[in-house]
A = this chain, B = another copy of it.
Amino acid sequence: MATELPGEGQGASPDAEDTHLREVLVQGEKVFDGHFLKVQRDHVRLPDGRVATREYIRHPGAVMIVPLLDDGRLLLERQFRYPMGRVMLEFPAGKLDAGEAPLRCAQRELLEETGYRAREWAHAGVLHNAIAYSDEGIEIFFARGLVAGHQDLDEGEFLELVSHSAAELEAWAADGSLTDAKTLIGLLWLQRWQSGAWALDWQPAA
């Protein structure tokens, strides 16, 4: 059946000709303006001309860092995530400040949350974690040549640093005890980079 499906060879990229799928803003407004969450509600024109409603979070964007310790282990955080009601194992991550470049944010968040600076950085890619209801993108960075220093957590931020081998993380991903999406995608990148399938362009820290 596969060869009968349309769209083959079009690639994953957006296509300017996608008018049969595209939704167009009619009018919109911010309907919730919380301390952390901003919700937008837009009325959109569907491909068939009808009008529908789209509600979504406006997010400033974020970064994640996959920090490689010199002994081959990875630096992670254990953090209570209130919406989940439990402690989650995660790669360090944080939100962009207004106007902040992603690499600068990655270096700031790694330092603030873990106390580490890195001698080399590589940008791996970006992930979009909730495309049905958020415009958040998380830029993925790798860091190596780590040098320990002092943590500088935000007020009200509590987390615990841990280090684990890739094999341990793989086992926890496989058995369902590691479920954070960005961290799983960090593992995908790590596995594909370490296997030689995907490249990373390492640059010295500015």
Q: Does A129 reach chain B (CB closer than 8 Å)?
A: yes
**Is the Cβ of B41 less than 8 Å from the Cβ of A39?**
no
**Is the Cβ of B131 less than 8 Å from the Cβ of A5?**
no
**Is the Cβ of B11 less than 8 Å from the Cβ of A172?**
yes
**Is the Cβ of B163 less than 8 Å from the Cβ of A2?**
yes
What bracket does the count of chain A residues touching chain B fall in?
Answer: 35 or more
Closest residue of chain B to A179 (Cβ to Cβ) is B128
Contact pattern, A 124-161, Cβ under 8 Å of B = 1, otherwise 0: 01111111111111000000001010000000101111
Contact pattern, A 14-40, Cβ under 8 Å of B = 1, otherwise 0: 110010111100000001101111010
Contact pattern, A 58-96, Cβ under 8 Å of B = 1, otherwise 0: 000000000001110101001111111111111000000
Q: Does A7 reach chain B (CB closer than 8 Å)?
A: yes
Copies of this subunit:
2
The contact of A162 among B8, B31, B88, B127, by CB within 8 Å, is B8
- With a 10 A CB-CB cut-off, give which of A83, A180, A198 has the most chain B CB atoms: A83
**Is the Cβ of A84 less than 8 Å from the Cβ of B47?**
no
Q: How far is the CB of A7 from chain B (nearest CB, A)?
A: 4
CB-defined contacts of A87 to chain B, threshold 8 Å = 14-15, 18, 21-22
- The distance in angstroms between the C-alpha atoms of A122 and B182, with both chains bound, is 23
Q: Does A170 reach chain B (CB closer than 8 Å)?
A: yes
CB-defined contacts of A179 to chain B, threshold 8 Å = 125-128, 137
The contact of A56 among B37, B73, B177, by CB within 8 Å, is B37
**Is the Cβ of B69 less than 8 Å from the Cβ of A1?**
yes
Closest residue of chain B to A40 (Cβ to Cβ) is B83
**Is the Cβ of B50 less than 8 Å from the Cβ of A88?**
no
27 CB contacts below 8 A, A to B, read: A1-B70, A5-B163, A6-B162, A7-B160, A7-B162, A8-B164, A10-B162, A12-B89, A13-B177, A14-B86, A18-B78, A21-B87, A21-B159, A22-B80, A32-B32, A35-B53, A39-B39, A54-B82, A57-B57, A57-B133, A84-B131, A127-B181, A130-B130, A134-B134, A174-B197, A181-B181, A181-B185
